[in-house]
């Protein structure tokens, strides 16, 4: 009986022990698997690594005036797992963040898909908004330091570029290893070209958070933190006052203005019209503003100054004259007749009325088409080349030396190369059967010729320098560096000797100061030199263009103006260039009536208007189908 009682007690004790063990196991299971409260509190009471973003570098004009500044703002982030179970004051949060309820709920839904990750709720929160958010004690929400751009002068939108969130496509490329999703990056213009300098260097901080998501302090008193490095300040070559003045004159017009300091290659003005207020690309409305500009067929975001490909028109006669002089097929005193143009076979290259015959200087001054047809034909049919094809090839080499048909190597975003036709081009187009008459339109900068406004301004600088140029560039000083890229200090010589520029410069001087097509550009005592151009346009009125530099000796400014559908070169391009030269060289405008004329001049852009109507109609049809 004693043994039976002992056995029973043993069994009971065993059952009790097993029962207690089962209860403990069930409790542990509930704590660790079913109840995530402990895990959540452990997660919140933890060390968190946070990226510290630097202030982006500013951009100044050549005189130290701000073109681009940075202001402090914040991204608002949410970690979904840290949101309070009992909810939060959504109305107050919506007011602080200036968000709709639908927008906030959409962001929270996105955050729920990755509950442990910090998800962007809204960007560009002001410092005042951050203080209100911090005071509100919204668990799960925190801010991330950022900077936003601001533009004191509101100029140079398509020149300066903008800052936007990096795309998924960019993140997949090795050259963007520095960036993470949600980072901002310079897009287009200066912002893109100098991104690695402007962005600075990220830092990192280690912070301890409590169970309510509040910062308790820095880990190890911040000894392991890495401070961010502010982006470099850039001093540009742009004259802000001159840039703003040029943009005002180009308002309502399509085209470009580029002005260069010949002695350095520094770009004083670069206008692409239409442009846009750069503030439109900052803040929460950036996406909608971008979409609006994207649908505008006049392309305000397209920098025509460095990307557009225009026929240079009569301004290119300068190059033809210089090549003829260098090759010995032309002498300054050579005179050619003009009977309202140049006749070859059954065709005729027309010309405006002027006295005839002319020598080289007067041909430049009067912009005679016939004269430069003779010059071009004599050059490419020179017997020493053997045939026209080889003559055109030699002509190509000369033209390339002036910077045409190739990129100049500037520091500008998306520089275009333009186009210069080659013998191979004509072989393909005419099955190898072509002659000097086929290419004659190139003599006056028409036909297949295509140049960027930057290349044309560079031609003005080359003539001003009598045969050489510095690569045009937009940045003259970088904070923390003694100099800019050395390539911007190197002279690039053309294939034409400096002595051969003398009659060309004299002809440009006569055009402005004696009797010629550039008389509107006359400025007393400044010895302005100029060459008009009227480029044929199959889509409407001819394009108006003008090359100029001043003064004649020791020139301070070289400029090219190109106005689409502007008519004769003297109609609008000449007064725009002349007023810019006047302001730059004298610091004042003494011809207010001429300025008024320019401001009131509005070309007819029915081609662009019709293109916009068709585009809008197609978009509407697509939207209706959806």
- Cβ-based neighbours of 499, under 8 Å, separated by 6 or more: none
Between CA 521 and CA 519 the distance in angstroms is 5
What pLDDT does residue 361 have?
97
Per-residue pLDDT band for 436 (boundaries 50, 70, 90) equals: very high
What pLDDT does residue 182 have?
81
Same-domain check for residues 437 and 567? yes
Closest CA to 139 of 97, 79, 95: 79
Considering its fold, how many domains does the chain have in total? 2
Looking up tokens 């943009």 gives 247
Closest CA to 379 of 327, 431, 426, 311: 327
- Cβ-based neighbours of 167, under 8 Å, separated by 6 or more: none
Closest CA to 598 of 578, 577, 572, 619: 572
Cα-Cα-Cα-Cα dihedral sign, residues 349, 355, 361, 365: negative
Between CA 284 and CA 105 the distance in angstroms is 17
Closest CA to 146 of 58, 53, 227: 53
Instruction: Select, from the ranges 2-11, 72-81, 93-102, 519-528, the one with the highest average predicted confidence (pLDDT).
Output: 519-528
Same-domain check for residues 391 and 246? yes
Q: CATH number of the domain that 518 lies in?
A: 3.40.710.10
Cβ-contact 585, 595 below 8 angstroms: no
Between CA 392 and CA 428 the distance in angstroms is 15
In a domain, 618, yes or no: no
Structure tokens at 9: 């007690």
In a domain, 438, yes or no: yes
Last residue of a domain, one of 209, 236, 263: 236
Last residue of a domain, one of 198, 216, 236: 236
Bin 8: left if φ > 0, else alpha if -120 < ψ < 50, else beta: alpha
In a domain, 277, yes or no: yes
Last residue of a domain, one of 236, 260, 284: 236
pLDDT surpassing 60 at residue 479: yes
In a domain, 36, yes or no: no
What pLDDT does residue 82 have?
83
Between CA 116 and CA 101 the distance in angstroms is 23
Between CA 145 and CA 74 the distance in angstroms is 5
What's the average model confidence in pLDDT over 17-27? Answer: 68
pTM over 0.85: yes
In a domain, 549, yes or no: yes
Structure tokens at 446: 């028409």
> DSSP state, 475?
E
In a domain, 481, yes or no: yes
In a domain, 155, yes or no: yes
Residue predicted with more confidence, 570 or 247: 247
Between CA 102 and CA 390 the distance in angstroms is 70
Cβ-contact 149, 56 below 8 angstroms: yes
pLDDT surpassing 80 at residue 221: no
Cα-Cα-Cα-Cα dihedral sign, residues 579, 559, 297, 608: positive
Lowest mean pLDDT, pick from 42-51, 179-188, 462-471: 42-51
Q: Which helix (H) or strand (E) holds 158?
A: helix 157-160
Per-residue pLDDT band for 187 (boundaries 50, 70, 90) equals: very high
Per-residue pLDDT band for 378 (boundaries 50, 70, 90) equals: very high
**How distant, in Å, are the alpha carbons of 149, 166, 283 from that of 96?**
22, 26, 16
Give DSSP secondary structure letters for 200-269. Answer: -B-EEEEEEE-TTS-EEEEGGGGTT-B--BPPPPEEES--HHHHHHHHHHTTT--EEEEEEETTTTEEEE
Q: What is the mean pLDDT of the chain?
A: 90
φ, ψ dihedrals at 470, nearest 5°:
-105, 145
What pLDDT does residue 594 have?
97
Same-domain check for residues 267 and 163? no
Per-residue pLDDT band for 44 (boundaries 50, 70, 90) equals: very low
Q: CATH number of the domain that 84 lies in?
A: 3.90.1310.10
pLDDT surpassing 80 at residue 439: yes
Same-domain check for residues 421 and 505? yes
- Domain membership of residue 66 as a residue range: 51-236
CA torsion angle for 204, 146, 478, 280 (degrees, to 10)? 160
For a pLDDT cut of 70, what percent of the chain falls above it? 92
pLDDT surpassing 60 at residue 488: yes
Same-domain check for residues 315 and 226? no
pLDDT surpassing 90 at residue 410: yes
What pLDDT does residue 33 have?
56
Same-domain check for residues 227 and 249? no
pLDDT by residue (tens digit) across 532-549? 998 888 888 899 999 999
Same-domain check for residues 245 and 232? no
What pLDDT does residue 209 have?
66
Same-domain check for residues 286 and 327? yes
pLDDT surpassing 90 at residue 565: yes
In a domain, 615, yes or no: no
Same-domain check for residues 298 and 337? yes
For a pLDDT cut of 90, what percent of the chain falls above it? 67
Same-domain check for residues 210 and 355? no
pLDDT surpassing 50 at residue 117: yes
pLDDT by residue (tens digit) across 149-173? 999 999 999 999 999 989 989 999 9
Bin 124: left if φ > 0, else alpha if -120 < ψ < 50, else beta: left
What's the average model confidence in pLDDT over 135-154? Answer: 88
What's the average model confidence in pLDDT over 544-556? Answer: 97
Same-domain check for residues 148 and 270? no
pLDDT by residue (tens digit) across 284-328? 888 899 999 999 999 999 999 999 999 999 999 999 999 999 999
pLDDT surpassing 80 at residue 584: yes
* Residue 16 burial (10 A CB sphere; 0-12, 13-18, 19+): exposed
Instruction: Select, from the ranges 21-35, 74-88, 558-572, the one with the highest average predicted confidence (pLDDT).
Output: 558-572
Same-domain check for residues 61 and 154? yes
Q: Find the distance separating the first CA and the last CA of the chain, reported in whole Å.
A: 91
């Amino acid at each position: 009986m004693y043994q039976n009682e002992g056995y029973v007690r043993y069994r009971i004790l065993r059952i009790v022990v097993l029962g207690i063990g089962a209860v403990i196991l069930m409790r542990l299971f509930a704590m660790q698997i079913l109840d995530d409260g402990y895990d959540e509190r452990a997660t919140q009471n933890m060390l968190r690594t946070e990226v510290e973003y630097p202030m982006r570098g500013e951009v100044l004009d050549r005189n130290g005036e701000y073109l681009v500044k940075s202001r402090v703002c914040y991204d608002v982030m949410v970690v979904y797992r840290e949101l309070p179970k009992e909810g939060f004051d959504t109305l107050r949060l919506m007011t602080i963040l200036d968000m709709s309820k639908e927008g906030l709920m959409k962001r929270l839904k996105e955050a729920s898909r990755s509950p442990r990750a910090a998800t962007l709720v809204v960007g560009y929160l002001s410092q005042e908004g951050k203080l209100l958010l911090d005071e509100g004690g919204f668990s799960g929400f925190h801010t991330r330091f950022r900077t936003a751009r601001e533009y004191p002068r509101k100029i140079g939108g398509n020149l300066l570029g903008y800052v936007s969130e990096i795309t998924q496509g960019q993140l997949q490329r090795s050259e963007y290893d520095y960036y993470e999703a949600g980072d901002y990056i310079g897009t287009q213009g200066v912002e893109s070209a100098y991104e690695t300098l402007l962005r600075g260097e990220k830092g990192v901080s280690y912070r301890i958070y409590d169970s309510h998501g509040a910062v308790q302090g820095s880990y190890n008193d911040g000894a392991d933190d890495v401070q961010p490095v502010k982006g470099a300040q850039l001093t540009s070559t742009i004259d802000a006052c001159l840039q703003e003045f040029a943009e005002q004159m180009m308002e309502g017009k399509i085209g470009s203005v580029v002005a260069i300091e010949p002695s350095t290659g520094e770009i004083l003005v670069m206008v692409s019209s239409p442009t846009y207020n750069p503030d439109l690309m900052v803040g929460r409305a950036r996406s909608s503003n971008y979409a609006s500009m994207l649908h505008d067929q006049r392309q305000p975001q397209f920098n025509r100054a460095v990307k557009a490909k225009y026929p240079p028109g009569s301004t290119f006669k300068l190059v033809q004259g210089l090549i003829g002089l260098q090759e010995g097929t032309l002498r300054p005193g050579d005179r050619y007749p003009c009977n309202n143009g140049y006749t070859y076979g059954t065709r005729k290259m027309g010309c405006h009325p002027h006295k005839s015959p002319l020598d080289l200087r007067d041909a430049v001054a009067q912009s005679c088409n016939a004269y430069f047809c003779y010059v071009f034909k004599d050059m490419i049919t020179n017997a020493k080349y053997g045939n026209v094809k080889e003559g055109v090839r030699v002509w190509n080499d000369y033209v390339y030396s002036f910077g045409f048909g190739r990129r100049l190597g500037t520091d500008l975003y998306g520089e275009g190369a333009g186009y210069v036709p080659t013998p191979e081009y004509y072989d393909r187009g005419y099955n190898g059967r072509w002659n000097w008459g086929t290419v004659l339109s190139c003599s006056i900068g028409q036909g297949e010729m295509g140049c960027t406004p930057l290349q044309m301004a560079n031609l003005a600088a080359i003539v001003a320098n009598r045969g050489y140029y510095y690569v045009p560039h937009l940045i003259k000083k970088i904070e923390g560096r003694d100099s800019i890229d050395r390539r911007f200090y190197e002279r690039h010589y053309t294939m034409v000797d400096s002595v051969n520029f003398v009659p060309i410069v004299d002809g440009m001087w006569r055009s402005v100061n004696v009797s010629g097509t550039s008389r509107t550009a006359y400025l007393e005592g400044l010895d302005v030199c100029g060459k008009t151009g009227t480029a044929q346009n199959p889509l409407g009125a001819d394009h108006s263009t003008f090359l100029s530099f001043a003064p004649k000796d020791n020139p301070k400014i070289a400029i090219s103006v190109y106005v689409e559908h502007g008519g004769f070169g003297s109609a609008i391009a000449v007064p725009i260039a002349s007023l810019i030269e006047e302001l730059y060289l004298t610091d004042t405008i003494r011809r207010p009536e001429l300025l008024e004329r320019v401001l009131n001049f509005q070309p007819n852009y029915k081609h662009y208007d019709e293109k916009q109507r068709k585009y809008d109609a197609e978009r509407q049809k697509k939207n209706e189908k959806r």
